[in-house]
Structure formats: C-alpha cells, structure tokens
Amino acid sequence: MKFDPASQIQDLEQFGEFGGVNPAITDSATFTFMQAKTMLETFQGEAEGCFLYSRHWNPSNKYLADAMAAMEGTEAAWVTASGMGAITSAILQLVDTADHIVASRTCYGGTYAFLMNYLPKFKIDVTFVDITNLDEVKAAMRDNTKIVYTETMTNPMLQISDIPELAEIAHSKDAKLMVDNTFTPMMVTPAKFGADVVVYSMTKFVNGKNDCVSGAICGSVEYISSLIDVNNGTAMLLGPVLDPLRSSNILKNLHTLHIRMKQHSSNAMYLAKNLKKIGLDVLYPGMEEHPDHATMKKLMNPEFGFGGMIAIDVKTAENAAAVMEMMEADGVGYLAVSLGYFKTLFSNSGKSTSSEVPEEEQKSMGMSEGLIRFSVGLDNDIERTYQKIKKCLVELKLI
Ligand SMILES: *Cc1c(COP(=O)(O)O)cnc(C)c1O
C-alpha cells in the first residue's frame, strides 16, 4: 500500500488532559512519582511511559515526536531545540574517536562547518563527495566509516540524493545512512528507502511560521533510546531539548504541512517554468532538464510536488544584490535566509547560507556567485508575483 505521510499524521489520536482536541501542554521540568521504585526503574530505562525530567522526555515533546515518527514511518523520534541540535547529536551518537564519515559536499553550511571544523577535535575524519556520483561515494568508504551523510535535496544546487542506492552502499560497509530531509518533508520519506536516521530542521517547512528554531531526529526505537540514555546518550548529556510550549505550537502547524507543501510546490513550479521561458538560468528539480529530475520522480510521494525551493543564476553577486533589493522593495518577499515560510524568502547563497563553504568548494560544486535561492511562499496569485519579479529583471536589464 502507498505510504501517505499526511494520513499517518491525520490518524494520530492525541487528546488533551480534559478531552481537549489539542494535547495539553505539560509545563513542567520535573515529574512526581508515587513509588520510589518506579523512579529508579525510570532512570534505568525500564519503566514504560514514565516521565522523569524534561531534558529526557516531556509529554508535549513526545506528542510532536510521535507525529514526526508517524510522518517519516520510523519507529520513534526525538525533538530538539534546533536543527543543528538534531544533526550534531544524531552524528555524535554514532561515531567514536578515529571513525570516519562520508558526507555530501553540498550540505547545509552549519553541518558542513561541524563536519569540517569541529569533528577533527575528536580525530573523526570526513570525506566530502559529490553525493550524486555513486562511484565516488563507494570509493570513499573505509572499514571505519560509520555514517554516510546527505540531504534529500541539497542546498543550494537542489541536487537529489539517490537514497536507496546510498543505503545499499552504506549498509554494505555496516555504516548508517543519515538523511537531512528539511527541504522535502512529505515529498520524500527517506526511511522507506533504507535511511537509518532522518534529521530535520523543523524551523523550515515543518513549522512554517519562522517563529522559532527547532529540530527532530527520527529512527529506530533502539537508536532513539540510545540518544536519551541517561548514562551515555548524546541528546540526554548535551541537552539540546525543545521547549514544550514550542512543541505544542509546532505540532499544530504540522497538521497543515501537507496543504502548505502542495501550494509551495505548485507556486515554485510556476515561477521556475515562467522564469525559464524569459531566458533565465533556473534550477528546479521539477523541470525535466534538471539533472536529478528522474531520481526525484523515483523517490517522491507525487501529490506533494517537487518542493518550494528554486534557484536562479544572475551571474554576479552585484546583480544578485540589486535584484534582491528591488524584489524586496516591490513586495515579492523578503531578503532573508531560511526557508519554508509562508512568504517568499530569497538570498544570495554564496554570500549567505553557503558562506561557510570555502570559495574553492563552491566553485567545484558548480555554484555561481550570482545564484539566488528562493523559498517560494504560499502566494494565492503567483502570476502576480511572477510579474513583479519579471519587472525587476527587466528594469535591471538582466533579461
Ligand atoms: C536550517 C537548516 C539546518 C539547521 O537548522 P537550524 O534549525 O537552523 O539549527 C540544517 N539543515 C538544513 C537543510 C537546513 O536548511
């Protein structure tokens, strides 16, 4: 049967304490026990369903985590105070000193900086590869490789990872495949293709309101339990826990994610096609000429479309600055990093979200200094938005 992430969430029955249709917010750091024995069992991880302390579990966080696990088709999940909190905890749980990671060279700037600059402290070696080149991935694998790390859709080139193939490569060496699915919630379900761990910045599409940062880690019960083990769990000991007030808000927003993704996708497709028609260089996985279009079609849950992210190339950083400033003044959206917001956001990748990636690497991934990444909003009249963008491009003589 077809896996439908939206129905998975819809089928959850999570009620408030007094039958509220939204689960109650548990505004407590600690939890009381009737019997001392149960407290000890909870510490030892032996008492089912008992809450001990909110850095470990809070009922509000559990509702959201259960909904994320349902959406991803994983056994369990845990929610974090940021996407980076999720990514760093998820990685550190799986590696020891002297281990090795194979990672996509086009991953999120913060993730890239963590892998490149931070992990060497622990003598953990990372090989960066073109994740769409499976021979390069295979050749990079070593006996001590513990993780193959990628993003379903990479930033900012919008490459698509062939998740089933990568899972096979990782598993043949007893490594785990970890996938950041931030750009493609509902559109792609990585665990169904063999990903062992799926991480999220919920800051983006999942929450969709740009009012907080948050993250999630989805995986097996065994793995999630190891993360929050009181003696050696990375999440438990480093403590990047999400606030339960935020959790309850994000859960409500998650219930409209399927509608939002469809609108983001159809708006992005409209802009991509029309901007291409007037002669602009456009990157969008929904277009047949995109190098990873076929891979995307193989992976996608089709009703959610090809996503809300497009990139256009206006050749120079100066052009990019001029067009972004004019688009902001004309009400196309905001010059801002981040994505998945109800309004359109745009930024010049080389001067913002990929600025942690050295210029050499930017060049080798084929990234132009004039690349503008758009997170296309939920605009009701996308033709009107398109006309505004076109006017800016014409006035600046870019088309
Ligand atoms: C934003 C982002 C992150 C980091 O998430 P934060 O919530 O900002 O910590 C990680 N991966 C991707 C793909 C992102 O877009």
Cα(79) to centroid(ligand 1), Å: 14
- 277 shares a domain with 138: no
- 96 shares a domain with 65: yes
- Which pLDDT belongs to residue 155? 85
Verify whether ligand 1 is closer than 6 Å to residue 201 (CB atom): yes
Cα(375) to centroid(ligand 1), Å: 14
Q: What is the mean pLDDT of residues 379-391?
A: 98
What CATH number does the domain containing 201 carry?
A: 3.40.640.10
Work out whether the CA dihedral 26, 31, 34, 40 comes out positive or negative.
positive
Residue with CA at minimum distance from ligand 1 atom 8: 83
Residue with CA at minimum distance from ligand 1 atom 2: 201
What CATH number does the domain containing 376 carry?
A: 3.90.1150.10
- 276 shares a domain with 381: yes
Residue 201 belongs to domain spanning: 5-254
Number of domains the chain is built from: 2
- 243 shares a domain with 271: no
Q: What is the mean pLDDT of residues 201-217?
A: 98
Among 113-127, 193-207, 254-268, 338-352, the minimum mean pLDDT is found in 338-352
- 281 shares a domain with 148: no
Cα(270) to centroid(ligand 1), Å: 26
- 205 shares a domain with 75: yes
Give the pLDDT band of residue 42 (cuts 50, 70, 90): confident
Last residue of a domain, one of 230, 254, 278: 254
Q: What is the mean pLDDT of residues 366-395?
A: 96
Among 35-44, 203-212, 300-309, the minimum mean pLDDT is found in 35-44
> Which amino acid type is present at position 81?
A
- pLDDT: is 355 or 122 the higher one? 122
Confidence check: pLDDT of 1 > 70: no
Mean pLDDT, the chain, integer: 95
- 79 shares a domain with 145: yes
- 72 shares a domain with 193: yes
pLDDT tens string 264-287? 999 999 999 999 999 999 999 999
- 111 shares a domain with 56: yes
- 294 shares a domain with 250: no
- 225 shares a domain with 286: no
Confidence check: pLDDT of 48 > 80: no
- 283 shares a domain with 245: no
